[in-house]
Amino acid sequence: MMNQQYKAWSVVIASTLSFTVCFMIWMMFAVIGIPIKETLGLNETEFGILIATPVLTGSLMRLPLGMLTDKFGGRIVFFLLMLSTVIPIWLISYCAQFWQYLIVGLFVGMAGGSFTVGIAYCAHWFPKNKQGLAMGIFGAGNTGAAVTKLVAPLIVVAYGWMMVPKVYAILMLVTAILFWIFTFSDPEHKVAKAITIREQLAVLKDPRVWRYSQYYSIVFGGYVALALWMTKYYITEYGFDLKTAALMAAAFSIPGGILRALGGYFSDKFGAHTVTWWVLWVSLVCLFFLSYPQTEISILTVDGSKSFHLGLNVLFFTIIMFTLGIAFAIGKASVFKYISDDYPGNIGVVSGVVGLMGGMGGFLLPVMFGALVDLTGIRSSVFMLMFGIIWVSLLWMYWTEVRPTKLGSNQLPSQPLKSQY
């Protein structure tokens, strides 16, 4: 009989690979959305809606999927979720109108709900002092965003963009089968059958859940939004072709996924609060520099008018984006360390709520990005918006976590509700 440790690591590895594929598909429109935009003649706001549509259903489904995971176990829920997306992915190749892409995109977006299922499924297999690492490793599946930027452009160049959904549909089917083969179930990981939906949702009364949701809306929602937006940003801001732009955009997506495991390790060692606090500050500094638009300044001097150009060149822009990707990766893990510490009995539901809000950030931000660019004509306005959101998160953390500690409080004012499970 296989020992528990072997099963645990088999579950984590299989779940991480499956989540990577799900995230590849969730971020697919970041690449194929660009030729679709050109074909349909979409403006920036419409493009934002197109690439964000899959994120909407992937976000809204996270809470119910988290509840189902607590009730029935992660293995069966994850498996059925992957199977349910295969046909919608394939159908993208046959869409011809904007509304068709939106409807099919809603069904494809279900793949994004896999995060809540997998994070709870993996965490239950490990003791508390290793849950941060386990969830961080699983969360590294976010690198699927980078994989799409590396793989999808090659398929587009060789066979056209309509081949991408067909390849991804087959990949999803194969992945679902392999996941079922290499994962296991444990009845002890399920909540009692007597637990009602109302009892599961009692955590919504806890203000701490909403604070964690705010943090996650930027470190995850911001990551998703920028992963969707950056390929196009490199094309319009720096004049790259699709293949090169996608490769440059991967400099943000790769660390934003891979280093999530490092964030889990740091959170286990230093605590969720300390890590999240520094993540938000580093992100704020990065977004300050990214927000500055390309600027031409003319100054009247004694020798006449002199002009200067201020703005980030592509090298410094990419370095800052790489740094921001690292910060977001660590922050995604640290927020979920809060959850595993405070809600060990109902990780699925709480991670569903927090994941839903984070995903909604990933849906709303690209739409707001497009609207801001259409309204102002300033491409860096997308970073100005995110700078403001980070600032709100820092203020909230200071007043609810940092200030009470400085005043000598031994306990934060709003403790999480006791688990009813």
Lowest average pLDDT, out of 170-179, 284-293, 335-344, 404-413, goes to 404-413
Q: Are 14 and 179 in contact (CB under 8 A)?
A: yes
Residue whose C-alpha is closest to residue 224's, from 10, 62, 41, 417 = 62
Q: What is the pLDDT of residue 193?
A: 56
State pLDDT tens for residues 132-156: 788 778 888 888 888 898 899 999 9
The reported pTM is 0.74
78 pLDDT higher than 90: yes
DSSP element (H, E) containing 313: none
Q: Where are the domains positioned within the chain?
A: 4-182+199-300+308-406
- Which residues on adjacent β-strands are paired with residue 299? 306
- Tell me whether residue 188 is exposed, middle or buried, using C-beta atoms within 10 angstroms of its C-beta: 0 to 12, 13 to 18, 19 or more: exposed
DSSP conformation letters of 97-150: SHHHHHHHHHHHGGGGGHHHHHHHHHHTTS-HHHHHHHHHHHHGGGGHHHHHHH
pLDDT computed for residue 20 by the predictor? 94
Q: How many residues are listed for the chain in this entry?
A: 421
3-state secondary structure (DSSP) of residue 307: strand
Class of residue 296 by CB neighbours under 10 A (exposed 0-12, middle 13-18, buried 19+): exposed
Could you tell me which residue, 189 or 263, shows the higher pLDDT?
Answer: 263
Higher pLDDT, 350 or 172: 172
Fold assignment, 4-182+199-300+308-406: Growth Hormone; Chain: A; (1.20.1250)
Calculate mean pLDDT across residues 308-318.
89
Q: Rounded mean pLDDT of 68-78? A: 87
pLDDT for 1 equals 46
> How far apart (Å, rounded) are the C-alpha atoms in residues 97 and 172?
25
pLDDT band at 106 (very low <50, low <70, confident <90, very high): very high
pLDDT digits 0-9 by tens, 321-352 = 999 999 998 998 888 788 877 777 666 678 77
